[in-house]
Each structure stands twice: as C-alpha cells, then as structure tokens.
Amino acid sequence: MYHAPTQNSALTGIMTTSNNTLHIGWAEVDITPEELPVFIAGQFHARISEAVQNPLKATALVIDSGNDHVVFVSVDTVSISEALRGVVRAQLAESGLDPLKVILHATHSHTAPLNRDAAGGSFQLPGETVFGEVPVTTYIKFAAAQIATAISQAWQKRAPGGVAFGQDYAVIGRNRRWVDHDGVSTMYGLNKNTAERFDHIEGYEDHSLNLLATYDADKNLTGVVVNVPAPSQETESLFELSADYWHETRQELRARFGEKLYILPQCSAAGELTPHLIFEKAPHERMLQLRGRTGREEIAARIADCVGRILPYITSTITDDLDLKHEYETLQLPTNALTAADAEDARKDRDEWQQRYEVEKQKLDDNPALRDEHHWYITLTQTAARAGWYNGVIERYEKQKTHPYVPAEVHILRLGNIAFATNPFEYYLDFGIQIKVKSPALQTFIVQLAGNGTYVPSPRAAAGGGYGAVPASNPVGPEGGKVLATHTLEKINKFWK
C-alpha cells in the first residue's frame, strides 16, 4: 500500500533482455475422474456423483527467473489434501524443479471428487463403507498423475516471456454471515422471520480482482492469473461433477481473449465469502432471468468484464526483467485453544448426532428397501459427519495438551512489485485485508486454500459464533490467524528490504 515501485518503473516497463529474463510455461490437464462414481466433497452429507456436468481442470503456471522459480497449480477441487499434494510432489523428484516450490491451490469447487484419504475425510461412516463409489485413493492417484504431468509439461515448455499486472473490481464473493440484535452470528438463514432480528452483515467484502498476465516473447497474451476473494461454489450442492463458475469463466475468457488462453484461478482470503447473496436475492434472480443467464454465467461475465477492463491498459508495462524470490516454510500455528466446556458441549452434540445416526441406520436396517430410494444415504451420512465433526473438537481438546500447534505450509513470493502469499486455510477476510493494508507490494495476491482448508475466523466472527466460527470449525482460531498474518507480512517485508 505504501511504497511506490522500487525496482522497475511500474508504468513504463517494456520488454527488455537481462540476466533476469523470465521463462514462463503453462499447461492444463483434465482431472475429471475416469472411474465413476466418486464421492463429491464439500458438504456434510455424502454425495455420490451422478453425472459429469463439465470437466474439472488443473492448470499449471511455471515462472522461472533463472535464480528462482515457482509453480502455481490451480485445481478444481474443494481443497488440497496433503495426500494429493504429497503424491504430486513425489512424482516430480526427477523433474529438475524443486517439488517444494510447487503450490497447489483449490478453486473451492464443491462439486469435485473427495481427495482426502479416509482418515481425513469430511465424514465418517461407521459400518457404511459400501456406496459403490470408486475409492478416494484411486482418484488421488489419477489426479496426482495428471497434475504432475501438467507441471512437467509447463516446466519443459517454459520459454522467454513477460508479465504485466493490474487490478480492477468485480462483485463476486459476498459475505454470508450476519449478526442479530443480540450479537449472535449466523451463516445464511436470513428469511422473513429471521430478518426481523437482523442487525448487520458481520464483516466486510473485498471485490478487488488482481490480475497477472503472461506474454510470449512477441508480447502475445498467453495466460492470466485471476485472483479473486470468491470460492467457486455457486452451484455447490449438485450431485454432479463441475468446476462450478470457473467452467463458464474459462469459456467466457477464452471467447473474449483467445481460445488458447491459460487461466489460473486463485482464491484470495475469503473464509466467510461465497457467491451466494444473503439479501436482494429476488432482484438478482430477476436480472438473471432478464439477461437469460445462469448465476455461473453471470459471474463469468463479471470476471471477463473485469479482466477486459485491465488487460488493454497493462500491455504497455509488459516486462521480462523481474526478479523472483520464493520462500516456503511450514509454520507452527497455535491451535484454537479449546476449553473443557467446549469439549463438553461437543460431546453432547456428538452424542446427539450419533443417536440420530443410529436411528437412521436402524430405519434402513429395518427396511432395506429404503436404500433403493434416490439419495437414501443423505441423512445417514449427514448425521455421521456431524457426529465426526463434533468428535474432532474432543480429539483436538486432548491433542492440544501435547501438541499445541498446527502445521501450515506457506509460500511467500515477490515478483517485481507484486507479492503472492499462500496459506492452506479458508482465511477470514479481516486477516486478508490486514495483509493487503500492510503489505509493501503494489498488489498482494493472497492465495488461500493452498492446502487442506478449514476456517480461520476473525476475532469478531469468533465472538459471534455460528458455522465457520465455532470450535468444531476452527482447528486454528483468531490467535493463530493473527500469527499467520503477522508472519506473512514479515516475510513479504523481508523481500522488500
């Protein structure tokens, strides 16, 4: 925010040759599972995929300055499990690049296959393992191989090129949490009755879109990094595989800027933001009807409009003469310190959900024909997952006595006058704004969900409670969130000194 460019002129950069000549490589692979059905990740209840609505993609961007390099991989998935990342990196041992400089980050599509192994799954199904689904490990193996191929291709194809960057605005990610007159926070759930208690939207919204464009040696546009605080979950409840709004967005961007354009989505800090509106839904729906667009097409149009407002003006600043610095480390963040009361509350909730699960299971056992009904397993898996969710609090309460830290892999990069800062979480916006406000970079591309996710709430969100800001949601709490922000800024600042 504060410092003017210190390296190259931010405005007048032109293609030059230097020792720092950037080499840039792109690749895209299809990671739609070949073997179906699969578990779809992103909701409490299980969803077994019933169709492929559109393809899932992984897009790799290699930037190599000669002195340092980075590989960004955007993946159409809800989050990046350590299992997936580990298998990808393991396959890159002989590739010539540093596998630890590969950053996998998720678009947060809620309609992609589960990529966490059973132990880390979002739901547990005691006694219920047979849904006819392809094992998660099969998908991890397949997706990891595809992603590793993309990375290798991008690395091998890297060639001299330039970059340019800019910023504009697109209203996409909306705050989904509201506070009532008593200070109690709730996610969604605003209706005619609850609206009478509404006091305010809890936090802020960030509609900035940070864009990094890449060009070949002839200044032809080759790809774009589109960084927005908006997870890809417009149609998050489907029982179909889909990249969500990034599918339409890729189509729209390519229709406007070239069929061969590579598109790498990044989700900036947006722990409490989604594309869903919690008020003014009716006028939004009406406008969609008048425009003849789906919600996803509308988002695609907004992003493409925004990119269209930036691209024409940044070509004059294309440069290949940029230094790249990339550091990564695994931070040890303080766990969300749970109290005995938290554990006790969780125990009660777990037992209640476990009981509901038993009732549902008994119902199915008593009448096996129920299993022939469509989506028969929803209540069963939802109750099981909820019980497991609360059980996690009890487990963490015990674990914190000996392990008071949670590891978090973070990457900090400087590329000319812009910074990238990754974290594995669904990081509440207040922290993201803290980083943006204090960062010396001209533009700070925060990349959340470069890992296995889950919410890190802001202090004000934790004070209000509600899904996303309660002990069961938060292995790392506001304290850890603060440590992460502080550390991220220290690292960025170090690169600017």
Partner 1 sequence: MNTPIQIGWAEADITPEQPVFVAGQFPARLSEEILDPLKAIVLVLQSGEEHAVMVCCDAVSISDDLRDCIRKKTQEITTEIDSAKIVINATHTHTAPENRLHDPKTGGISAGGNGVELEAMPESEYIEFASARIADAIHSAWKSRAAGGISYGSGFAVLGRNRRWVDRDGVAMMYGLNEESAERFQHIEGYEDHSVNLLATYDAEKNLTGIIFNAPMTAQETGGLFAISADIWCEARQELQKRFGEKLYILTQVSAAGELTPKMLYDKATHERMLQLKGRTGRQEFAHRIANAVDDILPYLPQAIETNPTFKHLVNTVDLPVNSLTENDVEDARKEIVKLQETYETELQKLKKNPALKNEKRWYVPASQAFRRMNWYNGVIMRYEQQKIQTTLPAELHTIRLGDIVFATNPFEYYLDFGVQIKLRSPALQTFIVELAGSGTYISSRRSVEGGGYGSVPASNRIGPEGGQVLAERTVELIRSLWKE
* By the rule CB under 8 A, 37 interacts with partner 1: no
* By the rule CB under 8 A, 479 interacts with partner 1: no
* By the rule CB under 8 A, 224 interacts with partner 1: no
Cβ closest to partner 1, residue 169 vs residue 376: 169
CB 279 within 8 A of CB 190: yes
- We find the least distance from the C-beta atom of residue 142 to partner 1, in angstroms, to be 39
- We find the least distance from the C-beta atom of residue 399 to partner 1, in angstroms, to be 29
Cβ closest to partner 1, residue 302 vs residue 361: 302
Closest CA to 208 of 176, 244, 177, 172: 172
Among 51, 118, 255, 287, binds partner 1 (CB under 8 A): 287
- Burial pattern 309-320, b for ≥16 Cβ within 10 A else e, equals bbbeebeebbbb
Beta partners for 162?
Answer: 215
Cβ closest to partner 1, residue 1 vs residue 90: 1
* By the rule CB under 8 A, 198 interacts with partner 1: yes
Binding mask 420-459 for partner 1 (x = CB under 8 A): ----------x--xx-xxx---xx--------------xx
378 vs 363: CA distance, rounded Å? 13
- We find the least distance from the C-beta atom of residue 495 to partner 1, in angstroms, to be 17
Element (H, E) at 411: strand 405-415
Cβ closest to partner 1, residue 214 vs residue 439: 439
Cβ closest to partner 1, residue 87 vs residue 221: 221
**Which parts of 21-158 are beta strand (E)?**
23-30, 40-41, 51-52, 57-64, 69-75, 102-106, 112-113
**Neighbour-count burial of 366, counting CB atoms closer than 10 A to its CB (0-12 exposed, 13-18 middle, 19+ buried):** exposed
Which segment (160-168, 224-232, 343-351, 395-403) binds partner 1 by CB under 8 A? 160-168
* By the rule CB under 8 A, 196 interacts with partner 1: yes
* By the rule CB under 8 A, 4 interacts with partner 1: yes
298 vs 225: CA distance, rounded Å? 20
DSSP code, position 471: G
- The strand order across the sheet containing 405-415 reads 324-334, 405-415, 418-422, 443-447
Cβ closest to partner 1, residue 254 vs residue 460: 460
* By the rule CB under 8 A, 205 interacts with partner 1: yes
Which segment (240-248, 273-281, 323-331, 403-411) binds partner 1 by CB under 8 A? 273-281
* By the rule CB under 8 A, 276 interacts with partner 1: no
**Which parts of 170-283 are beta strand (E)?**
174-175, 177-180, 185-187, 198-201, 208-216, 221-228, 240-241, 262-267, 273-274
